[in-house]
Amino acid sequence: MNATAVNAARSHPPRFPARRHLTNAAPPAIALLAGILAWEVVARAWGVVFFPPFSAVVVRLAELTAGGRILSSLVGTLTNLVIGFTIAAVFGVGIGMLMGAYRKVEMALDIYVYAMLTAPSLVFAPIFFAIFGLSRASILGVVIIYSIFIIIVNTVAAIRSVPIALVEMGRSYCASERQLFMKIILPAALPLIFAGLRLGIGRAVKGTINGEMFITAVGLGAVVISAGRRFDAAAVLAVLLVIIIIALVAVKIVQIVDARMTGWLPSTARQQRTRRGGGA
């Protein structure tokens, strides 16, 4: 019995930072490998034309990349994503702050924001097409519609969550309205604003691809469409892999900026916020 106790203690060594890093990296790596393996096995066993195995998709991706198709499309797609998301972030955070700060603005806009948040964003694609035609503006419109409302909703919540005690403290030390905003409200709201931006960037990637697929066949969306027309399932999935990688990288960039700007947040609060933000 003593031996088992000792073994149990050994199997939970003190969690040194380096070790924790390793153990934290292991579960996602194992899950990823398992997923790829399952994909490969199921696709080979099933043998359906429209579900090629992972290896075939990778080969097709390599061909497309070598042919220059992916890279040239990538530039267009990333341009749409960056411009669209930047506009959505600037206006989303701005509108959200006004709604968070002024009750009347929130009362006026609340219904629109929640209506648009729940509405399927793609239905607006034809409207943008009608207004802007086959131009980049149509795609940007879709990107913004996809991402701006979740950013607004989170920014409103962020401003609301600023502790009243801090604002009162600022007032008692004779802060001007501008100082209250810049030195207390904005920094205090930043963590939740970033939670909104993280959700927003994911939606912006979706919006970019959908816009490129359904409005003007450009960028990666166009590659997907043309591959689909040729029933080239491997190419469709190959582009999908690229899109997923773009989304993950984009989210990571937002996370890095977030961590730099809100590094003061204790790690437990950071986890809670991620969960809360993810549920919104």
∠ Cα 221 223 224 (to 5°): 65
Which ranges of the chain would DSSP assign to H, the alpha helix? 2-11, 17-46, 54-66, 69-101, 103-118, 125-132, 136-160, 164-172, 177-179, 186-214, 219-229, 233-261, 267-279
Segment near other proteins (CB under 8 A); pick from 77-85, 126-134, 159-167, 214-222: 159-167
- Cα distance between the two ends of the chain: 49
Q: Enumerate residues 6+ apart whose C-beta is below 8 A from 188.
A: 161, 162, 163, 166
- The Cα 94–Cα 99 span in angstroms is 9
Q: How large is the C-alpha radius of gyration of the chain?
A: 23
Does residue 183 touch other proteins according to CB under 8 A? yes
CB of 188 to other proteins, least distance (A): 8
Segment near other proteins (CB under 8 A); pick from 24-32, 94-102, 168-176, 207-215: 168-176
Does residue 179 touch other proteins according to CB under 8 A? yes
Segment near other proteins (CB under 8 A); pick from 35-43, 55-63, 178-186, 214-222: 178-186
Letters for 242-271 (x = contact with other proteins by CB under 8 A, - = none) are: --------------------x-xxx-----
Size of site (CB under 8 A) for other proteins = 21
In the Cβ-directed half-sphere of 41, how many Cα atoms lie within 13 Å? 6
Does residue 192 touch other proteins according to CB under 8 A? no
Segment near other proteins (CB under 8 A); pick from 23-31, 118-126, 179-187, 271-279: 179-187
Cβ-based nearer residue to other proteins, 166 or 251: 166
Considering only residues 56, 59, 105, 166, which one is a binding residue for other proteins as defined by CB under 8 A? Answer: 166
CB of 171 to other proteins, least distance (A): 6
- The Cα 235–Cα 231 span in angstroms is 9
Does residue 195 touch other proteins according to CB under 8 A? no
Does residue 182 touch other proteins according to CB under 8 A? no
- The Cα 257–Cα 85 span in angstroms is 15
Considering only residues 187, 214, 240, 276, which one is a binding residue for other proteins as defined by CB under 8 A? Answer: 187
In 3-state terms, what secondary structure has residue 218?
coil
Residues that bind other proteins (CB under 8 A): 163, 165-166, 168-176, 179, 183-184, 187-188, 262, 264-266
